[in-house]
Each structure stands twice: as C-alpha cells, then as structure tokens.
Structure 1
C-alpha cells in the first residue's frame, strides 16, 4: 500500500480540485484505488466531482464537507475561498468500494443499502470488510450505524464523521459516486493488504457530576433526576451555561459536554460525548446525539490545552493498536470535531504538529465534522460529539 495527501485553498471547485489532484498524483505516482475527499462548503458543487472524474475515471470517492478547513501533514488549511483536501490509497491487491443511499425517513434502511452497494462495488458481496468509513449528514447517525451493522455485524470497526458546514445552516454535503448530495449515507468498505489501527476518544474528563435521564424526547433531555434538564445542567456548570439561556448554546457548552460510559478498558471508563446544542423554553436541552430515559449522563470538562493535545494522542493510540513503530506508518485519516476546532482555532497549527509527532513522516488528511463515529473497542461502534476518530495504516 502507498498513500498520499494533497490540498488546495484556491477559489473555485474545479480549480481547487485540479491543483490538489496535481499534488496527489505527483506524490502517489499511480492511480488511487480509493480517494477520500473533504472540502469546505465553498466547493460542494457538481464541478468538484466532475473535475475529479475527468482525471480519475472510475476511482471511488468518499467524503463530505468539513467545517472551517482541512488538515494535512503540510498544516491546517483554511481561507476565505474555502479549502479542499485529498487522501489517496494505492493498494492493487486490496479491495475497495463506495456505496451511497438517500436517508429520507429511513436512516436504518439507508445504512444497509449503502453498505451493500459498497460491498458490491468492491466485488466482495456477502463478506465482512476489514474496515468501514462512513459520512452522513448530522441528525440520524445512530440509525445509519445500526443499518450498516445489520448487514456486516458488529465486529468491523466503523470510522468516520458527519458532514459539516460553516454556520450550522444545513449546507453540509456528502461526496460519493452518486455526486454531491445533501441527504445521503455514504459508506466505503476497505479490505487493505496492510495492518491498520483505529482509535476513538475525547479530550474531556468527568467532573464528578452525574444523573439519570428521567424524561427524554427526540435528541432532547427534558429531565435529569426528575428536575428540569436546563436547571440541573446550569447548576453543574456553575452558571457557565445559564438556565435562563434560550436557543443555541453550542459555544457556551463546548467546554462542558455530557458523557455516557460506552465501555471500560482495563477498568478505565471510556466515554462517548453529547454536545448540548439548544436550550428550550421548557427547560429542555437538545443534543447532537440520541438519548434515552435511564441513561446515566456525566458532566465532562475539557480545556483548550486538552483539546489541542487530543488529536495527536488519538492518532498515537491508533498507531499503537496497529503495533508498528512510528516511522513505519504509511498514512492516516483523522476526524477532529468541528466544535473542538472552532474552540481552539487559533492553535490548529499545534493540533497538526501533534498529529505529525504521532504519525511520523507519513501523509494524512483531517476533517472537522459535526458528529464523529468510531470504535471504542470491539463490538462498540458509536456516534458521539466533540470526539477525535483516527485510522492509520502500517
């Protein structure tokens, strides 16, 4: 296997695509068998995939829009005209395929249809892939994951992120052989010939406050321990998020998300996070994840320093699970939450340097998403917020 990355901050989807493709093909030296594509909403138009299709006919493309910019080993790439990043895998003895399906009102069915289409495209129908990469719009990620797992089971790691835009205005898009789409689950199946490592973590720690969800709605917490959710959440944050706030609270709540224990590794609890997004007039708190009555939620705390360091730490963990030395890493993909990126935007060069330190001289591509998916441990693929998900090849 050989990998390479490239980027462009040029204006215009076609111009940016061609500049990035020039760099990618120069470094890769061959036609990729799978192409990962992440770009800001500025470039999310048909001309983007048309330009790639002219240069790389028949090459499967997977990805979506990224908030604020993209990362590669060359730095954090952003600008007034947007940014675009590519990561190509050349692995002639491996098998790769991409499938997509419209979500509509049937996210479970869309996940199942997309994975089946990806397996057919790879020529590996009825097999469980080594890895799955996914991209979908925010809103119904858990059901999409369940749909994927209904076909391939629960032991295959599912890694990826939900597409994002610049202002949470629904301008996110997904990229696939079906084009630039607003409401599709896009899935890539990977049967690589080399070793891989994956990790899924956050940069937050439990504060000591916790409670049981006693009333819940659709991605809403209505009551915690039989008290209005907003009241108790405000008390836990010591007023950093006021119970009288109404509407969007994403910026205020980034430092204090809610966590649920997804698994334990050697006695250490592993948390999946939910980002409080809206405060309602009835004391309810809306999230970017599903939530259910009976869930125990923990107030989590994170600092800018912990978020800056977490990107490199998760990539290092992914490499460690693969079991090879740093200088043997062939390449990697990093999903770094868009909310975290916005919180530490002025320090994104440090985030990139942390990933470089973890991955060595290997190429990588990073995107900033509005929801992250990963495998915390075997049989535990989850969707969360304010997380980092990494995939590395060795």
Structure 2
C-alpha cells in the first residue's frame, strides 16, 4: 500500500525549517522511497536539504524552488523569510531511481546522462512506468529529448523551477546536487495505477494564425506575416502599453496563446513573456514555423475554478484508489489569482478530501494527454495521482 505524508515550515533559518518539515513526515520513513521538496529561494538550499536528509537519512530528495509558496493540507504556505513543503512517498512495493546533475554539454546530452544515472540508481536497465522531471526555464524540451533517447516514450509529470521575482534565482536540486542549470528525474517502478491530467483549462477564442517567422526557438516574430505583437493586439484589443516589455507577461495570463497537438487532444499553452521593440514576443516554450497558434482566454474566476474541475477529471482517469497527489500549478496563473490564492487552497482540500497532496508553483509544466507525446507548456496545470 502506498502512503504519503506532507510537512511544511516557514522558519527563517533554513536548517530549522528543513528539520521541522522533515519531522512531520518521519513516521512513514521506514518504507519511504523518495520525498518531493519545494522551497523558497530565500533559503540556502544545501543547508535546507542537509537538514532534511539528517531527519530522513538515505531517502532520495528531489524538487526545486517554487514561486511564492506551496499548498498542502495546511493551506497556502508562504513566508517573507522562506517556506518549504515536503511530501514523502512510502510503499514497500515501489522502486524509485532518482538522479540529477548540473548541465554538462548540451541540454539533450545532460538529459541522456541523467536518465542513465537514474536507471543505475534504480538498479535496472528497464524503462520506468512513469517519471518526474525538474529543470530550469529555457531548455526543458531538450532535456526531455535526452531522457526519451534513453527510456523511450514513458508517461511524465513535473515542472520548471521558479523564483519569487522572475529574475533567474531559481534552483533545481536532489539530496546530491543543487544547480541553477541542469535537470533532475525520478523514475518510478510500480504495478499500481498512475494518472496525469495536463491542461491549460482555457477557452479558444476562434482567433488563430500560422507562425510564419521565429528567431531561435522561443521568439515569435510573425503570425500570418504580421509582426506578432501587432497581430496579438488586433486579436485582444490590447494597447501598446499593455504589451510593452514585461507588461505582456501579466496581460497574457488571461489571454495566452495555444498550440494543438496532432490529434487535437491537448492544447499546450504558450505564455507570451515579453513584448520586444521590433514587434516580436518572447514566449515561454518552443515554437515551430508553419504551425498554428490560437488565442486562448480565461477569467481569474475560471483560473480558480479550473483547479477543482481538473482534479475531478484526474480522479475520473484513475483506475483505483488514489494514495497521493502531486499538483503542478503554474506560477503565472498563481500571480494572476494573486490575493485569492486561498480560494485555490480551499478548493483543492474540498475536492481531494483526506488524500495527501503537495502543490508547487512553477514557471513551466510537463505532462501528456491521452496518447500524445510528453509536452512542456506554460500557464498550465499538471495534476498527477498515485495509486494506493
């Protein structure tokens, strides 16, 4: 049987915070196979992780810094001096291989090396039943390509490290490493059910166009041969000030772009991050010329209510009793929700009942839908259920 337990702390001292949170999950330490750890950038992460490991010796840790807080049964947990949330997973029948490393060579090469390390740490050469990934913003798709090169197409979940000010202070970590660039994974081996619901939960507006020019992978220059910002303003009615520079980041939370997968099962959200002087837009994930982008929309009320709806959809996908939930909630959505984040916490607790869960706030989300490829997106929800 799978058991999970969560712990939190907002103590200012990183060592004391790690100790307090870890002590709350120690009762299941005998069969604990890993612990997810999400924290504030205010802490020295090595000090925090060492303190957790002192309370949970020999248990692999994995996670990253989270945007402004976490949510558990304790509600929305945050603090000006820092915060940490832990969820330990215990199951005598579960095997997990955890590995992480700073970027070495290309992102794809690093992903390949980490996947090989995780297989070794799991004591097998067999592909996992599903896996978790954490990475920094910028090259998530390429880390994923490297991992897939080793284990093939295996269901995934996870998210991109975040900070509180969108200034690149984010970190990924395991109990063995802390790095601003790199990737970490947890490979899960089990015969118990698993489900992931990956969605932006936005509505299509009916306005769409073809990407005709990009720079690199993430700068959208033209839609239908028109400067991207001009087309976006035409679609949304946004003013020049609304989309200038970093203003676009917050404006687009309720009006992002979407790209559909080949069968239309999933619309991966593409978050416009910055409006550039040349009329182009910096986008939070990779793009491709010749594909369509769709203008999406949602109100703040809908951003909140979609959490409950997505949890219900996840529960419906599970073939069996749920033992724990890992919820990846976009930090951009959280910023748009702002002071109403308590409503999200209350909605999660109401919907899941007494099922243990942890929610992190990320700058990118990973998951899949139906038989599609594993996908990286932004402004999305990646909700995962582990069978009991």
Shift of residue 354, structure 1, vs aligned partner: 2.4
Q: Does 1:303 align with 2:271?
A: no
| Aligned counterparts, 1:24-103, within 5 A | 24-26=25-27, 28=28, 30=30, 32-103=32-103
For 1:124 and 1:241, the matched residues in 2 are separated by: 56
Deviation at 1:356, TM superposition (A): 2.3
The corresponding residue for 2:20 is 19
Provide TM-score, normalisation by structure 1: 0.93
Q: Number of residues paired by the alignment?
A: 385
SS of the aligned residue for 1:194 comes to: coil
1:245 match: 244
Once the 2 structures are TM-superposed, how far is the Cα of residue 104 of structure 1 from its aligned partner? 5.0
Offset of residue 263 of structure 1: 4.9
Shift of 1:390: 1.1
Other-structure match for 2:314? 318
Q: Deviations over 1:2-39 (max 9, x none)?
A: 1111111111211111111111124x363521110011
Return the alpha-carbon distance in structure 2 between the equivalents of residues 241 and 311 of structure 1: 32
Q: Which 5+ residue runs of structure 2 have no aligned equivalent?
A: none
Displacement of 1:253 in angstroms is: 1.4
Partner of 2:258: 259
- In the other structure, the counterpart of 2:206 is 208
Shift of 1:79: 1.6
- Give the match for residue 332 of structure 2: 339
Q: Secondary structure at the match of 1:348?
A: helix
Contact 2:100 2:177 in 1 (8 A): no
Greater shift, 48-57 or 58-67, is seen at 48-57
The alpha-carbon distance between structure 1 residues 102 and 344, as it changes in their structure 2 partners (threshold 3 A), is: same
Shift of 1:202: 1.1
SS in 2 for 1:42: coil
Distance 2:147 2:371 in 1: 16
- In 1: Cα distance, 2:92 partner to 2:145 partner: 31
SS at match of 1:308: helix
> What are the within-5 Å matches in structure 2 for residues 140-159 of structure 1?
140-154=139-153, 156-159=154-157
Query: For 1:158 and 1:147, how far apart are their aligned partners in 2?
Result: 14
> Normalising by structure 2, what TM-score?
0.95
Aligned counterparts of 2:105 and 2:99: Cα–Cα separation in 1: 18
* More deviation, 236-245/139-148: 236-245
Question: 5+ residue gaps in structure 1?
Answer: none
- Does residue 106 of structure 2 align to residue 106 of structure 1? yes
Give how far 1:317 is off: 2.0
- CA RMSD for the aligned pairs? 1.7
